[in-house]
Structure 1
Amino acid sequence: MNDKQLAALQQVRKYEVIIKQFIQDERGVGIIYTDDAIAAKILRNTFSSHLQLKGDCLRFAMRESELLKEARRIIELRGKILFFIERVVDNRSNNQLIKFLKITYPEASIILLTTETDRSLLVYLHEIGADNFIVKPVSVNTLIEKIALTIRPQGQLPKLVGLGKELVQLGEYHKALETADKLLEIKPNSSAALMIQGDAYLKMGRDEDALQSYLQAAEYAKMYLEPLKKIVEFFRQKQDVTSQLAYLEKLERLSPMNMDRKIEIGELHLDQGNLETAQDYFQEAVKISTKQARDMIDQVKLTVAEACLKKDAGMAERYFREILDGKSSLSQSDVHVFNRLGIALRKQGKWEQAVKEFKKVLSVANDTEVIHYNIGMAYMEGGRYWDAHDAFEKALKVNEAGILGNDVTAYNIGVLMQQLSKRDKALAMFQRVKELRPDFPGIDKRISDVS
């Protein structure tokens, strides 16, 4: 193992400790709400097999009502919650659910499971309550890193920020201001500190001081939405429509996918007699609604395709192609569909077509190891072993820790290396599989064959 691999492994071990402390010492519990069987399996295996966390630390909800019931039970037992929420379940968006969970359980963390990578959409989802995102497909190591950084951001500042927010909630406003001052000593112009300061001032009835703190927070963190939302609410309470509109439009520029805000801005312009401007905002709201409707149709097709993939890869291929045929251009969010289409083609023995489809998405996903890996698998199935070797090498170059963190991917690369008589590399891969999963079927014989 080289220095880079060793450093990556040590970092993963640190993240593992954070998750174990959350579960074992802080009564943390994960609640998963998804209809993606693969995502659910990866999460289950990560907690039970990789992290060796036993007991009832990870719970699965099949319906929204079950999710809410589990959440109430955990809070009653004074536990901490980590939500894993699929963006779309049963062809329904979970945006409203995310908003509700963030309001009802503000101390809980929400990780959103999605295949989307559109920046505007992710900004909007963060705005309504998502603390972090897991873009599928995901490796075990990346999953562990995302979970650890969500439940415990690194460094001293996040701890003080958490303390300051807690003091405001407890009504200890002077202590909250002292905490904000400490934060500002460590990091001058910290927007998080200024937000705590503003919240404390507002609760103390010092409205103008609160406004100045919020304005400074917005000035020092141009992409931070929360100060702007506080400012909008401040002017809404003061019935200052002009200022309210100005800051709503600033929010709009940062997070343009919020349909409700577009309607609110349109209504305010309508009240002021700005009919054309109001119409523009209303039309933008309709466009977002139309796009969301198209996305929902694609999600239905994706669900159908995944169901077909288990029994009829040809039928799955048709649905995957229907989704992609409606695209005028490709983006990162299409990687998942191309990946699944390629797998459907491989299942039918159409390995050459699979390679062709995988390569189409490389223009927007050249740094996605799973695409290079699946190109390698397709070449391997077609008997083009050296082409497979080159594709696997590219996958390892993009994300070696991710590829070697999965027992199946490491095993398949080992099999190829054995086929090419690269015994040392094959042995290293098989030993890695043994380390990850000692009972992996046939691994002892593979190790013996290349030793």
Structure 2
Amino acid sequence: MADKKYDSIVYDYFEKRHGTVVLISEDAIFKKMLASTIHKITGTRRDNLNTYENVQTGLKKIQENTKNKTESVVFIERYIAGRPSTDTIITMKRLLPDLRIIVLVGETKRENIAYFYEIGVNNVISKPASMNNIIEKMAFTIKPQGKLSEYMGLGKRFLAAGKLKEALDVSTKILKIKPDSPAGLMLRGDVFLDAGKRDDAIKSYLLAHESSRLYLEPLKKLANAYKDVNQEEYLKYLKKLDRLSPLNTDRKTNIGKVYVERKEMGRAEKYFDLALESAKQEAMSMVSSVAERISDAVGQASPSMSEKYLAKVIESKGNNLTKDDLTLFNKLGIALRGQGKWREAIDNYTRALDISPDDEGLHYNMGMAYYDGKELKMAAKSFDIALEKNPEFYKHSEGASMNMGGIYMEARRFDKARIFFTNALALNPRNTTAKRKLDAIEKATS
């Protein structure tokens, strides 16, 4: 069960504040889950979820809500129509800084998430997501502002108006409530910087950084404070930011510029190359996404067409293939097996294992390819390796249990086969094939 306080926060957002949700996604399953979640919270209201499959119509709705002073929480896919949504998110936050945005992703790395927060995203949801997970993420995104946040808003307004004394007084109040508040310390630093007290500003930013080492904003403030003043310190904090959020191509370019100014052209070239590589990877992720969508679209109807597009994206990535690309290899293997190309499938899985030798799924799939080629001993050997890597990987899959049980049985390794048919029967007591196979094993071993 989700925490009741989260339910209450989301309920108040819809019922008391008359807030809405704008979903920009092509994912019908997530759309259904989000609709069910909102219905669970509100009971009967149906006009608070607006769904769109393309960016333009979604943005029009967001602008309409802004004009009507209607609060919006935006759920947006990391990729829409095969393209990264990064530019869209940056544009939305630039035009509407207070807009709340939740990005929907598949599996992703920590540094990717760091970059999302850096460009202004409020939260990230990994799919598939449960109802409770959606409620919790929404609650954290729309949670009513407490005293600290109220003071921060007031302090920023004073700072923007040039009322430095008032802004400094507000930062003092924040730090009385929470002495190590990074936001309060950064506000204090901003006041000192505007007052020309650079050293005091840097001290405040350093304290903010010490209070929350993975928080990017204090590091950005420090880099900015040292820019044009102390090149060594400026470079140090740019590099710290780059380590925490390496997808930022502008930052890599800025690091390269510093090295150019220092006449260290080799190091400059290194960071310029990394900036281009990062941009290339972003483009490649788009290519990969399109290829996967094509592959999914043709499915079993045309394994040869699926093979064509998956092979293209793997080839285009060259030496840039990583563990994140294993799904491409698995899908290509299935497409090859669907055409009876079991040797090519094995070559494909062998290449994938060079990237991730401990992936039990790859060893399992290789075993299935060997079985397609009637190489029974090699199939069983591949399964043995998969089980060494992860002894329990099959336990939640009736299909994998039946496949492994069948192949071990054909190899007359009855003790092994018994384990998998027993598991299949536990997962589905109506599996008559598993029951029949177990009976056959008992007869063969009695």
TM-score under structure 1 normalisation? 0.68
For 1:160, give the aligned amino acid.
K
2:201 pairs, out of 210, 213, 222, with 210
Is 1:307 paired with 2:307?
A: no
2:35 pairs, out of 26, 37, 44, with 44
Per chain length, whose mean CA-contact separation is higher, i.e. which structure has more relative contact order (CA < 8 Å, sep 6+)? Answer: 1
Is 1:220 paired with 2:220?
A: no
2:157 pairs, out of 170, 180, 188, with 170
1:191 pairs, out of 182, 190, 205, with 182
**How far 1:281 moved relative to its partner?**
0.6
1:160 pairs, out of 147, 151, 155, with 147
**In structure 2, how many angstroms separate the alpha carbons of the residues matched to 1:214 and 1:101?**
28
The Cα offsets for residues 348-377 of structure 1, whole Å up to 9 and x where unpaired, read as 9xxxxxx966967999x98x99x965x246
**In structure 2, how many angstroms separate the alpha carbons of the residues matched to 1:315 and 1:53?**
48
Is 1:282 paired with 2:272?
A: yes
Is 1:63 paired with 2:50?
A: no
**How far 1:218 moved relative to its partner?**
1.7
**In structure 2, how many angstroms separate the alpha carbons of the residues matched to 1:274 and 1:125?**
31
Is 1:257 paired with 2:244?
A: no
| Conservation of the 8 A alpha-carbon contact between 2:15 and 2:42 | no
| Conservation of the 8 A alpha-carbon contact between 2:122 and 2:141 | yes
**How far 1:279 moved relative to its partner?**
0.8
2:172 pairs, out of 178, 181, 184, with 181
| Conservation of the 8 A alpha-carbon contact between 1:342 and 1:357 | no
TM-score under structure 2 normalisation? 0.69
SS at match of 2:124: strand
| Conservation of the 8 A alpha-carbon contact between 1:301 and 1:319 | no
**How far 1:111 moved relative to its partner?**
1.0
Distance 1:211 1:391, change over 3 A: farther
| Conservation of the 8 A alpha-carbon contact between 2:395 and 2:401 | no
Q: How does 1:2-401 map to 2 (within 5 A)?
A: 9=1, 11=3, 13-48=4-39, 52=43, 54-152=45-143, 159-171=146-158, 174=165, 176-203=167-194, 206-236=197-227, 238=228, 240-309=230-299, 312=301, 314=303, 318=307, 322=311, 331=323, 333=324, 375-376=397-398
State which structure, 1 or 2, has the greater radius of gyration over its C-alpha atoms.
Answer: 2
**In structure 1, how many angstroms separate the alpha carbons of the residues matched to 2:332 and 2:32?**
21
**In structure 2, how many angstroms separate the alpha carbons of the residues matched to 1:96 and 1:270?**
28
**In structure 1, how many angstroms separate the alpha carbons of the residues matched to 2:34 and 2:327?**
18
Distance 1:61 1:188, change over 3 A: same
For 2:251, give the aligned amino acid.
R
Distance 1:388 1:305, change over 3 A: farther
Cross-structure match for 2:354: none
**In structure 2, how many angstroms separate the alpha carbons of the residues matched to 1:45 and 1:341?**
35
5+ residue gaps, structure 1: 1-8, 349-354, 394-412, 421-451
**How far 1:83 moved relative to its partner?**
1.4
**In structure 1, how many angstroms separate the alpha carbons of the residues matched to 2:34 and 2:44?**
12
For 2:147, give the aligned amino acid.
L
| Conservation of the 8 A alpha-carbon contact between 1:16 and 1:51 | no
For 2:8, give the aligned amino acid.
V
| Conservation of the 8 A alpha-carbon contact between 2:238 and 2:251 | yes
5+ residue gaps, structure 2: 340-359, 367-385, 407-417, 433-446
> What fraction of aligned residue pairs are identical, expressed as a percent?
30
**In structure 1, how many angstroms separate the alpha carbons of the residues matched to 2:10 and 2:327?**
27
